[in-house]
Amino acid sequence: MSGRPWDASYQEGPAPWDIGQPQPAIVRIAAAPGFRSPVLDAGCGTGENALHVASLGLEVVGVDAAETALELARRSAADRGLPAEFVAADAFGLRELGRSFATVLDCGLFHTFDADERPRYVSSVAAVTEPRATWYVLCFRDAGPDSGPHPVGREELDAAFNPDTGWAVESVEPELIHTRFDEGGLPAWLVTVKRA
């Protein structure tokens, strides 16, 4: 899907990353419980992760650039009677939301940015988070030939999340991201960072 507009990924059937349910890693975080309201789901897609968090009684706002995905997410929220909100937004301009969040969820968005774009994204998230906010990042891990697209190395995580960028890494754990084209999941990092 490289080079295609994000919205087009949803117009011809489910996108490869749209598995029709929340990612197992996100379900585990939510059960911990690891989320505090209000929650921002950055790059929410069709909203399965956001809707799972909303089903636990938390206030959730999902943002994405793909209007088709957002419309599908809104329909799912209405069908399930969940109050999650889904808004079109630029990941580099989150300040325009005019809101502040205690928790941020990024499932598969961070790894789509190149090294030059990541500082802008990290700064954008910092602009809409409360002090000591928690940010969970689930991204593809550089684990050899079986890595997903745009895998991220550990050193890239350290460069993105450090006191100079307003964040501190709490943990980096090997994890899996499930897609429609793999049976057991692809190698990923689950990164937990805290706002300074």
The string of pLDDT tens digits covering residues 155-176 is 999 999 999 999 999 999 999 9
* Residues paired with 86 in a beta bridge: 62
Picking from 12-16, 68-72, 129-133, 138-142, which range would have the lowest pLDDT averaged per residue? 12-16
pLDDT band at residue 27 under the 50/70/90 scheme? very high
Sequence letter at residue 167:
W
**Contacts with 168 (C-beta within 8 Å, 6 or more apart), sequence order:** 161, 162, 193, 194, 196
The string of pLDDT tens digits covering residues 122-133 is 999 999 999 999
Say what the pLDDT of residue 90 is: 95
Domains and CATH numbers, the chain: 8-195 (3.40.50.150)
Say what the pLDDT of residue 181 is: 84
pLDDT band at residue 6 under the 50/70/90 scheme? low
**Contacts with 187 (C-beta within 8 Å, 6 or more apart), sequence order:** 140, 141, 143, 146, 147, 148, 151, 174, 176
Q: How far apart are CA 13 and CA 46, in angstroms?
A: 12
The string of pLDDT tens digits covering residues 28-63 is 999 999 999 999 999 999 999 999 999 999 999 999
Q: How buried is 156 (Cβ within 10 angstroms: 0-12 exposed, 13-18 middle, 19+ buried)?
A: middle
Average pLDDT value for residue range 57-86: 97
pLDDT band at residue 1 under the 50/70/90 scheme? very low
